């Protein structure tokens, strides 16, 4: 891809890709969790997988985080509505810079926030297509957006794993999606791959299961 950006310009246009999550490999892109659609409703439901949302807590506790994620939300939604290809290029420019810095070609979408529209998912797919040597993982509660996207555009590129999250703690994986995630209580058996992070300093370490096409369901222990 031709280098048409400075890092500053790419961040200003598209929102900022971060490498600050030291518990996870590579880069991530977060938007305000205050704009989650399905998640916003689930956050009010006791026992749902959004009922203990760490991102909302962090936004309440730290105004600078709130401002950064809100800025990312505004920049991403605006540029995606005006010029999704430009947004994808500006994001991929940052993802590639981050990969050079960290040596890890892994990117996570939405360590806070969630998909806002089919158009946003389409723009993320463009970003994945522009960075074929980067593995992308997108966890989402927006099963409806994912279904509509697939009905319109077909399957996702092989370097993008979209994991649709179960609604309630203790639920089975949601059906109709190739990649899913669940949350299990201590006394419950995990469905599929149990996330080992809690046994290794709350970090991914060598595990890359969330990004793997070969792992249909990842189950996170409730903590």
Residues within the interface to ligand SF4 (CB under 6 A):
195-197, 204, 207-210, 218
Closer by beta carbon to ligand SF4, 51 or else 202: 202
Closer by beta carbon to ligand SF4, 10 or else 55: 55
CB of 24 vs ligand SF4, minimal distance in Å: 6
Closer by beta carbon to ligand SF4, 168 or else 207: 207
* H or E stretch covering 135: strand 135-140
Under 8 Å between Cβ of 63 and 143: no
CB of 211 vs ligand SF4, minimal distance in Å: 7
Under 8 Å between Cβ of 166 and 47: no
Under 8 Å between Cβ of 55 and 112: yes
Closer by beta carbon to ligand SF4, 120 or else 204: 204
The two three-digit tokens of residue 40, written as one number: 């916003």
Q: How far does the chain reach from its first CA to its final CA, in angstroms? A: 42
Task: From 121, 120, 128, select the one nearest 158 (Cα to Cα).
Answer: 128
Closer by beta carbon to ligand SF4, 147 or else 221: 221
CB of 208 vs ligand SF4, minimal distance in Å: 5
CB of 43 vs ligand SF4, minimal distance in Å: 21
Task: From 113, 103, 85, 61, select the one nearest 4 (Cα to Cα).
Answer: 85
CB of 216 vs ligand SF4, minimal distance in Å: 13
Under 8 Å between Cβ of 64 and 26: no
């Amino acid at each position: 891809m031709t280098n048409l950006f400075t890092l500053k310009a790419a961040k200003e246009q598209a929102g900022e890709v971060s490498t600050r999550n030291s518990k996870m490999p590579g880069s991530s892109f977060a938007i305000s969790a205050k704009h989650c659609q399905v998640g916003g409703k689930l956050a009010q439901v006791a026992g749902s997988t959004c009922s203990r949302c760490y991102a909302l807590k962090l936004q309440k506790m730290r105004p600078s985080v709130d401002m950064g994620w809100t800025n990312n939300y505004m920049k991403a939604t605006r540029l995606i509505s005006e010029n999704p290809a430009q947004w994808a290029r500006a994001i991929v420019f940052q993802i590639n810079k981050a990969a050079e810095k960290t040596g890890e070609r892994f990117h996570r979408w939405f360590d806070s926030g969630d998909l806002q529209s089919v158009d946003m998912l389409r723009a993320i797919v463009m970003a994945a297509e522009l960075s074929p040597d980067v593995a992308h993982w997108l966890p989402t509660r927006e099963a409806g957006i994912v279904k509509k996207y697939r009905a319109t555009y077909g399957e996702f590129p092989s370097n993008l794993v979209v994991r649709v999250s179960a609604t309630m703690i203790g639920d089975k994986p949601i059906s109709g999606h190739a990649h899913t995630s669940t949350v299990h209580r201590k006394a419950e058996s995990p469905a599929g791959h149990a996330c080992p992070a809690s046994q290794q300093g709350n970090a991914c370490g060598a595990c890359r299961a969330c990004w793997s096409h070969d792992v249909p369901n990842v189950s996170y222990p409730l903590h």
